[in-house]
Every structure is written in structure tokens, then in C-alpha cells.
């Protein structure tokens, strides 16, 4: 359940309340006078997730500024929400909420870059030592799922500026992984900690950077999982599955560049995986949005 609260001029409050009352999914509209502002009023209403987009359209039609309303999610304890009609989960799809999450995760925040750097350090050591456990640990730390999904949302919503910003954030993060991995490998080689017999791809790590039909299927499936996790805020639980398509290849590419090893296939895998993740994630969201509009 969502909760809408907005401030409006008194002379417009009645008309806006009627418009909200006629909007799908809006219930229990209340009005109270706005303290300290003569002639102002505050409207509040419960909004079903399926009606959020209709509410946003009504507010835009009435010219309500983004500074004058707040739409928040409430955790409903009782009664249990009805299952609704249509495919499971589609009644709870809220485009405005997904778009808000995309905006929030499209910028290269310091926390995002820090986590990508940490993931790079762990992944680089995993590649150097041929340790798959370290690779998995790096995938768990990496937050690259967020800009990937933000890019998908922007593509489906035809928000070119948002798409460019989110994709730049993704590229910046992956570039940081490559650069940091290269720096760590170069430092280890300079201090002779790698050893003269070092050969990249030991311990089965090379299997993660081989381009074949498995690469395509894993990336497509990961894109679907990424978008569903992004919508339900379960990205932390699904992040490892998504990062398997990006972090190993990025770290492998950086280590290979620093040690003079061949990295052409790792680069091809990384580019293909990013493309397939965005394509499958965008298709998943587009299908959901179409079904949500029909129900």
C-alpha cells in the first residue's frame, strides 16, 4: 500500500480531491487545513500500487509541483492484501517507484565506487591466486546490479538522459574494477609476490571468461533476475548471480593487462555480458509494464 500526501491551494483542493477519488486505486481521501498558510490545504489518500501511475498522471494534469507532494510505501500488517487478478505480482508493479529507484541508483555515488573498488581488490587476488571463493566474494560485494537496472528502466521509459547517466555509472564502476585489478597485479608483480611461474586462469577461473552458449544463457537469465530483484528491493540477495557476468571478466581483464597475458576473450565476454544483461532486463521490465497496464 502507498500513501499520498500533498499540499494544495484551498480553492483547488476540492477539485483535486474529486479527481483523485475518481482515479483507479485511490481510497480514503482526507483533507485538513494547512497550519500557518492561510488558504492552504493538505490532502492525504491511500493508493494501491496498481494505481500509482494514474495518480501521478492526475497530479501532473492539475499542475501539482513535485515539491508539493510525497508518495511513500507503507508496510501493511493487516488485513492481508488480496491476490488480485492477473499474473502473480503484476498488481504490485509500480512504474513510478521503479523509476524513482533508477534515478537514485544512476549516479556514481562514493559508496558505489568504494564497493566496486573493494570488489576489484578481492577479485584481483582471486584471479592471481586462482581462488574461486575470492571471486564469489567479490561478486557479493559488487553493487553493479543497480546501474545495470537503472539503465534498463531508463531505456524502457525512454529517458535518454537517465539512460546515459546510469550507463556511465556502470562503465565507470567496471572501469574502476579493471584499473584497480591491474594496479594490484602490477604491484604484486613488482614486489615479486606473484612469482615467475604465474599463469593467469589457474584454478578453473578461465572458465568464467570463455565465450560460449553458456555465457549467453547465463547473462540473459541474470538480466531477468536482476530486474525482478531491483523491483522487489532484493538486490543484495541476487547480486552474486548478476555480478558473475561482469566482475570476473573485469578483474581478469585488469590482471591480464598488468601481467602481459592475453585478455581478448575476457573483453569479449565482458562486452557481451553487459549487452545481454541490459537487453534481457529491459525486455523483462517492458513485458511487466505492458501487463500492468492491461490489468
pTM listed for this prediction: 0.78
Q: What is the pLDDT of residue 92?
A: 55
How many Cα atoms within 13 Å fall on the side-chain side of residue 125?
11
**Quick one: fold of 2-81?**
Alpha-Beta Plaits (3.30.70)
Sheet with strand 26-33: strands edge to edge: 26-33, 40-47, 2-9, 69-73
Q: Which residues of 159-193 are buried (b: 16+ CB within 10 A; e: fewer)?
A: beebbebbbebbeebbebbbbbbbebbbebbeeee
Walk along the chain (295 residues) and give the pLDDT tens digit of each residue.
Answer: 888 998 888 888 888 888 888 888 888 999 887 766 556 888 999 888 778 888 888 888 888 888 888 888 877 766 665 544 444 444 455 778 788 889 889 998 999 999 999 999 999 999 988 888 999 899 989 999 999 999 999 999 999 999 999 999 999 999 999 999 999 999 998 888 876 667 776 666 777 777 888 888 989 999 998 888 887 766 555 666 778 889 989 999 999 988 888 778 889 889 999 999 999 999 999 998 887 666 5
Instruction: Supply 287's cell numbers.
Output: 513485458
Q: What is the pLDDT of residue 122?
A: 95
Q: What is the pLDDT of residue 251?
A: 92
Peptide bond into 37 cis (omega under 30): no
Contact at 8 Å (CB) between 145 and 229?
Answer: yes
Q: What is the pLDDT of residue 83?
A: 47
Q: What is the pLDDT of residue 169?
A: 96
d(CA 79, CA 266): 52
d(CA 105, CA 16): 32
Q: What is the pLDDT of residue 119?
A: 94
How many Cα atoms within 13 Å fall on the side-chain side of residue 289?
19
Helix (H) or strand (E) holding 103: helix 95-104
Selection from 261, 155, 273 nearest residue 212 by Cα: 273
Domains of the chain, residue spans:
2-81, 96-294
- Count of Cβ atoms closer than 10 Å to residue 196 Cβ: 6
d(CA 264, CA 273): 14
Cα-Cα-Cα-Cα dihedral sign, residues 255, 256, 257, 260: positive
Q: What is the pLDDT of residue 147?
A: 94
Q: What is the pLDDT of residue 132?
A: 85
Amino acid at each position: 500500500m502507498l500513501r499520498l500526501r500533498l499540499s494544495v491551494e484551498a480553492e483547488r483542493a476540492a477539485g483535486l480531491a474529486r479527481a483523485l477519488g475518481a482515479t483507479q486505486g485511490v481510497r480514503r481521501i482526507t483533507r485538513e487545513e494547512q497550519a500557518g498558510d492561510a488558504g492552504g490545504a493538505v490532502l492525504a489518500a491511500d493508493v494501491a500500487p496498481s494505481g500509482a501511475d494514474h495518480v501521478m498522471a492526475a497530479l501532473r494534469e492539475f499542475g501539482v509541483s513535485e515539491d508539493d507532494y510525497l508518495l511513500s510505501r507503507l508496510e501493511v500488517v493487516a488485513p492481508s492484501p488480496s491476490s488480485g487478478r492477473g499474473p502473480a505480482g503484476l498488481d504490485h508493479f509500480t512504474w513510478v517507484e521503479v523509476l524513482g529507484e533508477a534515478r537514485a541508483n544512476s549516479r556514481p555515488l562514493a559508496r558505489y565506487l568504494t564497493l566496486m573498488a573493494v570488489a576489484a581488490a578481492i577479485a584481483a587476488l582471486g584471479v592471481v591466486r586462482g581462488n574461486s571463493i575470492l571471486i564469489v566474494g567479490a561478486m557479493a560485494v559488487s553493487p553493479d546490479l543497480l546501474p545495470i537496472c537503472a539503465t534498463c528502466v531508463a531505456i524502457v521509459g525512454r529517458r535518454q538522459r537517465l539512460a546515459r547517466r546510469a550507463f556511465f555509472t556502470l562503465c565507470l564502476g567496471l572501469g574502476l574494477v579493471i584499473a584497480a585489478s591491474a594496479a594490484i597485479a602490477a604491484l604484486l608483480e613488482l614486489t615479486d609476490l606473484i612469482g615467475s611461474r604465474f599463469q593467469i586462469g589457474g584454478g578453473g577461473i578461465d572458465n568464467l571468461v570463455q565465450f560460449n552458449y553458456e555465457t549467453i544463457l547465463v547473462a540473459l537469465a541474470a538480466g531477468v533476475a536482476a530486474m525482478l530483484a531491483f523491483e522487489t528491493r532484493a538486490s543484495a540477495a541476487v547480486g552474486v548471480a548478476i555480478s558473475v557476468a561482469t566482475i570476473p571478466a573485469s578483474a581478469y581483464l585488469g590482471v591480464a593487462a598488468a601481467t602481459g597475458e592475453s585478455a581478448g576473450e575476457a573483453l569479449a565476454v565482458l562486452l557481451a555480458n553487459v549487452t545481454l544483461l541490459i537487453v534481457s532486463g529491459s525486455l523483462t521490465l517492458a513485458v511487466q509494464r505492458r501487463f500492468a497496464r492491461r490489468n
